[in-house]
Chains A and B, each alone.
Chain A
Amino acid sequence: MTTQATVTSQQAALAELPPQTSNFRRFLRTFLKRKVVIAGLLVILTLILVAIFAPLLAPYDPYSQNLAKSLQAPSSEHLLGTDLLGRDVLSRIIYGSRISLMVGIVVVLLGGTLGMTIGLISGYFGGIVDTILMRMCDAIIAIPLIIFAMAMGAAMGGGITNVILALGFAITPTYARLMRGQVLSVKQQDYVIAGELTGASNLRNILVHVFPNSISPLIVLITMNLGLAILAEAGLSFLGLGVSPPQAAWGAMVNDGYRYLLQRPLLSVAPGLCVMIVVLAFNVVGDALRDALDPRLRGE
Chain B
Amino acid sequence: MRSIRDFAVNEEGAANMAHLLEVKNLRTYFSLDGNTVKAVDGVSYHIDEGEIVAFVGESGSGKSVTQYSGLQLIPSPPGRIVGGEVIFEGENLLNHEPNSEMMRSVRGGKIGIVFQEPMTSLNPVLTVGRQISESLILHLNMSRQEARERAIELLKLVGIPDAETRVDHYPHQFSGGMRQRVMIAMAMSCNPRLLIADEATTALDVTTQAQILEMMRDIVKKFNTSLVMVTHNLGIVARYADRIYVMYAGGVVETGTTKEIFSNPRHPYTIGLLKAIPRLDDPKDRKLVPIDGLPPNLANKPQNCAFYNRCPFRTEECATKPAPPLVEVSPGHWKACYVDVSEAVKQGVLEVYESEREASATAVRLKAAEQVPREEREAVLEVKNLKMYFPVTKGLLQRKVADIKAVDNVSFDIRKGETLGLVGESGCGKTTVARSVLRMYEPTDGQIVFKGIDITRMSKRQLRPLRKDISLVFQDPFSSLDPRLPAGDIVGEPLKVHRLVKSREEYEARLDELFRLVGLDPIVKNRMPHEFSGGQRQRIGIARALASNPTLVVCDEAISALDVSIQAQIINLLEELQVKLGLTYLFIAHDLSVVRHISDRVAVMYLGKIVEVADWKSLYDNPLHPYTQALLAAVPIADPFVEEKRERIIIKGEVPSLLNRPKGCAFSNRCPLATKECTEVDPELVQKGKDHMVACIKV
Contacts and interface: CB of A to CB of B under 8 A. Distances in A.
**Direct interface between A and B, CB < 8 A:** yes
Interface of A: 1, 3-6, 8-10, 12-18, 20-21, 23, 26, 29, 189-200, 204, 208-209, 212-213, 295, 298-300
A26 B531 CA distance: 13
Given A191-B490, A195-B493, 13 more contacts: A6-B358, A8-B356, A13-B539, A14-B519, A14-B523, A29-B34, A194-B474, A197-B467, A197-B471, A198-B494, A199-B494, A208-B482, A213-B484
20 contacts: A3-B358, A5-B357, A13-B292, A14-B519, A17-B524, A17-B532, A18-B532, A20-B531, A191-B490, A197-B438, A197-B471, A198-B493, A198-B497, A198-B498, A198-B548, A199-B464, A199-B465, A213-B484, A298-B530, A300-B530
Interface centre among A3, A6, A213, A298 (most CB of B within 10 A): A6
Contacts of B572: 9
Interface in B493-550: 493-494, 497-498, 516, 519-521, 523-524, 527-528, 530-533, 536, 539, 544, 548
B408 interface: no
Contacts of B481: 191
A190 B32 contact: no
Contacts of B472: 194, 197
Contacts of B476: 190
A17 B527 contact: yes
A293 to B, nearest CB: 12
A269 B494 CA distance: 62
A190 B548 contact: no
Contacts of B567: none
B347 interface: no
Contact of B358 (A5, A29, A197): A5
A4 B213 CA distance: 44
B580 interface: yes
Contacts of B293: 12-13, 15-16
A200 B521 contact: no
Contacts of B498: 198-199
B279 to A, nearest CB: 22
Q: Which 5 A-B pairs have the closest CB atoms?
A: A5-B357, A199-B467, A14-B521, A12-B292, A190-B480
B59 interface: no
Contact of A10 (B483, B516, B580): B516
A20 B527 CA distance: 8
Nearest to B357: A5
A43 B109 CA distance: 55
B479 A299 contact: no
Contact of B32 (A192, A295, A299): A299
Contacts of A17: 521, 524, 527, 531-532, 536
Given A12-B293, A13-B519, A299 B33 contact: yes
Interface of A, helix, strand, loop or mixed by DSSP: helix
B576 interface: yes
B356 to A, nearest CB: 5
A131 B493 CA distance: 33
Interface in B449-503: 463-465, 467-468, 471-472, 474-476, 478-485, 490, 493-494, 497-498
Contacts of B576: 6
B440 A23 contact: no
A4 B356 contact: yes
B519 A6 contact: yes
Interface centre among A1, A10, A23, A204 (most CB of B within 10 A): A10
A204 B290 CA distance: 39
Contacts of B33: 26, 29, 299
Contacts of A8: 292, 356-357
Contacts of A300: 478, 483, 530
Interface of B, helix, strand, loop or mixed by DSSP: loop
A39 to B, nearest CB: 23
Contacts of A14: 519-521, 523-524
B294 interface: yes
A215 to B, nearest CB: 10
Contact of A200 (B294, B497, B523, B528): B497
Nearest to A2: B516
Given A3-B358, A5-B357, A300-B483, A10 B464 contact: no
B536 A13 contact: yes
B286 to A, nearest CB: 16
A225 B290 CA distance: 53
A204 to B, nearest CB: 7
B363 to A, nearest CB: 14
Interface of B: 32-34, 290, 292-294, 297, 309-310, 356-358, 438, 440, 463-465, 467-468, 471-472, 474-476, 478-485, 490, 493-494, 497-498, 516, 519-521, 523-524, 527-528, 530-533, 536, 539, 544, 548, 569, 572, 576, 580
A150 B90 CA distance: 74
Nearest to B544: A194
A12 to B, nearest CB: 4
A197 B475 CA distance: 15
Contacts of A6: 357-358, 519, 576
Contacts of B532: 17-18
Contacts of A9: 290, 292, 357, 519, 569, 572
A213 B357 contact: no
Given A9-B292, A300-B530, A199 B463 contact: yes
A199 B497 contact: yes
Contacts of B494: 198-199
Contact of A21 (B440, B480, B531, B569): B531
A191 B529 CA distance: 12
B521 A10 contact: yes
Contacts of A21: 531
A196 B576 CA distance: 27
Contacts of B309: 16
A8 B438 CA distance: 35
Contacts of A193: 440, 474
B493 A13 contact: no
Nearest to A194: B480
A195 B33 CA distance: 33
A13 B520 contact: yes
Contacts of A18: 297, 531-533
A267 B297 CA distance: 61
Contacts of B493: 195, 198, 200
Contacts of A295: 483
Contacts of A13: 292-293, 519-521, 536, 539, 569
A197 B581 CA distance: 21
Contacts of B292: 8-9, 12-13
Contacts of A189: 479
Contacts of B528: 23
A174 to B, nearest CB: 24
Contacts of B524: 14, 17
A209 B476 CA distance: 17
Contacts of B467: 197-199
Nearest to A17: B524
Contacts of A198: 467-468, 493-494, 497-498, 544, 548
Contacts of B465: 199
A16 B482 contact: no
